[in-house]
Structure 1
Amino acid sequence: MEFLSQPHPMKMDGDIAVNWNSFKDNFETYALATGCANKEKAVCAAAFLHCMGQEARDVLKTLEVSTEDKKDKEKIIRKLDAYFIPQRNKTVERHKFNSRIQIMGELFDSFLADLRKLVVNCDYGNLKDDLIADRIVCGIVDNRVKDRLLRETDLTLKTAIEICKAAELTEVHIKNLEENSTQVGEIKKIHQSSRNSSSDTNTRGKNNNKNDNRKQGSRSTGGWKQNKEEKTCKRCGYKHEKKCPAYGQICKKCEKPNHFARCCRSNDKSIHGIEQKVDEDNKEKDDGNEVVLYSLTRNSLTGNDWYQELYLININKTIKFKLDTGAHINVIPEYMFKMFKIDQYLEDCKFIVKNYGGATLKVKGSCILTVELNSKRYKIKFIVIETNNKTEPLLGIATKSFNTDIKQYFIEHYCKTIAGM
């Protein structure tokens, strides 16, 4: 295993303590895989010093380590531990742990892993598992799951994890069933439409003469008299003779029954529309000046939203994004940007974010994040907006940040669902 590439040098910016612990773990794995751990202490220490990088070696020189101590890896680590890892404030660490809640769109496994990491520095002892279970109950975003957890008289961490994971899997299963039923309904509509078209074609020729006579008579009276037309339905936005297709459906905007979101008249305060000011230097330039999105808040009644999990390289986490097939931007709420400590500088951008009520929401800036999808990595531009903690991150599939590969992936996985809208 000598051919393995050595670990990257230690990063000297950002969270130094985290970087130092990460480098130590990477080196231990490398030393074990290459057999370096079984060699003489001086050889292993020299390999450690070589891999840590010049900046870390310069720090070591200031710590007055003797020549003999530099031949012992463990003594080098103890010296640098004292320098890189500050004394932990137990009160602050417990505050971080007890303030952690699940972010809208965050997977439960990611939420649990972060709780396990935060509790390490809290010094809770044997109470650690019980307090993690309590934090799950307080911080879980799904109220139905929270009610289920509260009904347990003797809740353990194992039981809490099983309930939350089962609920997450059930939600995915229900979504797949709804997509299948939507596809079946769409096929029926297509067949019905084709039959209606053929019957209309047969009767159109018979009625041409009658229509011509009526038009001639209308001209002589000083105007065109049109036949009786079907009016556009105020509940669904379409013309129809029989039962309205919106009857029995739940509006995705106001969550009230018997109308579609396109015809909703309520004054929703969640984010629905985005207007973009475009100049010639804007890389995300579009032909139009307005981009329309679905609400960024979760539809708790129907659950008919589409989501895609993306692994964010910058924060080493998997996040669930809501998909909008027509949007030309990608959105990350500011609270999520701060919660995950995304180490990216925010640049100025030209977007103005508005809701259906016309209120303008504050845009904090934009950033480029590296994501992984289907074992490939992509750099995607995100807009950071200031909003409430119920807002979900959004992927606009029509944005130019997506290249051909990632657009094709979404087309192959969601085109059937989109056709059933």
Structure 2
Amino acid sequence: MEFPSNKQEMDFHNGNVAENFRKWRQMIELTFSGPLSAKSNVEKCSYLLLYIGQDGRDIYNTWELSNDERKNPKVILDKFDAYCKPKRNLAMDRYKFFVRNKEDHETIDAYATELKLLAANCEFGDIKDSLIRDRIICGIRNDRVVQRMLQEPDMPLNQCIDVVRGDEFAQRQLTSLSKDERSPIDAVGMVPRYSTRAPLKHCYKCGTRHGRERRCPAQGKRCFSCGEWNHFAKVCYKYSQGEISSVETFSTTMDQVFVDIFFNRLRLSIRFKIDSGAQASIIPHSYFKTAMKDIQLERTNVTLVAYSGSVIRPVGKVNLTCKYKNKEITEVFYVVHSNSPPILGLRPSIELGLIKILMQINKNIPCQTPDYLCKEYSDVFEGIGCFSEPYHIILDNSVQPSVSPPRRIPFAIQEKVKDELDYLVKKKIIEPVCEYTDWVNAIAVVKKKNGSVRLCLDPRPLNRAIQR
């Protein structure tokens, strides 16, 4: 059985020569035990020198071997193995093992395989599996999985890998479910169920909403402001804000605001939806292909996140100069696959004068002094607030109970702490416990401005066990 020699040659010049030979030796040994199993050792040595290539044969010719050694393929392979392996540095090999952590994109199977390969050169002996298990526990970044593995002492390596593999599978399932449930939302409108009536539209003549089948109330009426017919004074476009020298298209509805922005480079106007909560301006890809097909898109690594939490990866970006009235700016627009209208973000909306941020509102309100607040909201400052019934906290039984040691209290405030505890017991806010309990939390003493003390509970150990 013949094999192409160019596919079997050993590479002595590129990469890790020792690793290259390990893989090549495994291939040639499988060949000797398989297709060439019927060949004699002399013939196997000939095949070995044929497959290893000219570089290997040159190295072989420099060795002084006896006739018996030249007829033994294992001896020749061991000689090449010694030639390819560098001088061992055991400390370096173990250092590489103990600093190898699991990457975020790496599966537990790939991580465990890499650790086993590194451990093969560390001479760990009988404790190799236990050290690989410990390295997995220290090398993963999931505290919940680590805590689960530490609960069982002397967990075997295979069981440790199964625990991490099961968590990875569950996380992939949850991620796929969350992606199916999330969808980008641009706007939400209300559509009456089982309604066959035409939608009501805003009438610019009377200022109300009505269908086409209804006659407009302003039909045949004269405007008191300009004297023209068929519209009311409240929607008069000439005298509602004085004489207008130029008109800019600016339309609003109950929930959305649109504006026409002029682009010098395109020589056209595009209607954008103003979104004060958007940090980026976007243009749908379908609109870009029709209105801006002559513009070259630039690549971008930016990832956008919609309000619903879904991730949007832009097709590209484009820098355009846009103009509204007498203001002109250059803005980066991201082109995305979306059915939403073009969106103008917060920053360009402010720079174009479409949005103004008011940091102060002037309003005559009474001086909110402590006396005024206590009087205005007296019900809040009377008595001690209590739940109508006891609240039961559900704990995770797998979490070990914690008894925190008492903290030292300075002698100067010990009497004040004792008085505060007696006061809280008297008001039935706390009650003394004179028997064994699984949970004990420490207290922290805070000194108030008036010289009294406030007792604070440190619930951090308990919070780890509360089921939410």
When normalised by structure 2's length, the TM-score is 0.47
Q: Which amino acid aligns with 2:302?
A: L
- Residue 294 in 1 paired to residue 303 in 2? yes
| Structure 2 CA distance for partners of 1:201 and 1:144, relative to 1, 3 Å | farther
Q: For 1:213-232, list aligned pairs within 5 A.
A: 213=231, 217-220=236-239, 221-223=242-244, 229=253
TM-fit CA distance, 1:132? 0.6
Q: Which amino acid aligns with 1:70?
A: R
Cα contact 1:291–1:328 (8 A) shared by 2: yes
TM-fit CA distance, 1:66? 4.6
- Indicate the residue corresponding to 1:326 in structure 2: 314
| Structure 2 CA distance for partners of 1:55 and 1:17, relative to 1, 3 Å | same
Separation (CA, whole Å) in 2 of partners of 1:51 and 1:5 = 9
Separation (CA, whole Å) in 2 of partners of 1:31 and 1:124 = 31
TM-fit CA distance, 1:14? 1.5
| Structure 2 CA distance for partners of 1:3 and 1:77, relative to 1, 3 Å | closer
- Indicate the residue corresponding to 2:361 in structure 1: none
Q: Which amino acid aligns with 1:293?
A: V
Cα contact 2:182–2:310 (8 A) shared by 1: no
- Indicate the residue corresponding to 2:47 in structure 1: 47
Deviation digits for residues 42-67 of structure 1 (CA, Å, limit 9, x no counterpart): 11111111111111111112223355
Separation (CA, whole Å) in 1 of partners of 2:204 and 2:198 = 11
TM-fit CA distance, 1:32? 3.0
Q: For 1:91-240, list aligned pairs within 5 A.
A: 91-182=91-182, 202-204=199-201, 207=203, 209-210=205-206, 213=231, 217-220=236-239, 221-223=242-244, 229=253
Q: Which amino acid aligns with 2:148?
A: R
TM-fit CA distance, 1:179? 2.4
Separation (CA, whole Å) in 1 of partners of 2:42 and 2:169 = 52
Q: Which runs of 5+ in 2 are unaligned?
A: 208-229, 258-271, 281-294, 318-334, 339-468
TM-fit CA distance, 1:227? 6.8
| Structure 2 CA distance for partners of 1:203 and 1:53, relative to 1, 3 Å | same
Greater RCO (Cα-Cα under 8 Å, separation 6 or more): 1
The count of residues paired between Structure 1 and Structure 2 equals 259
Separation (CA, whole Å) in 2 of partners of 1:42 and 1:238 = 82
Local SS of the residue matching 2:11: coil
Larger Rg: 2
Deviation digits for residues 250-303 of structure 1 (CA, Å, limit 9, x no counterpart): xxxxxxxxx98x559xxxxxxxxxxxxxxxxxxxxx9345624239xxxxxx9x
Separation (CA, whole Å) in 2 of partners of 1:30 and 1:194 = 72
Local SS of the residue matching 1:202: coil
Q: Which amino acid aligns with 2:130?
A: D
| Structure 2 CA distance for partners of 1:327 and 1:167, relative to 1, 3 Å | farther
When normalised by structure 1's length, the TM-score is 0.51
Q: Which runs of 5+ in 1 are unaligned?
A: 241-258, 265-285, 296-301, 307-323, 330-397, 399-410, 416-421
Cα contact 1:231–1:239 (8 A) shared by 2: no
Cα contact 2:204–2:235 (8 A) shared by 1: no
Structure with more helix by fraction: 1
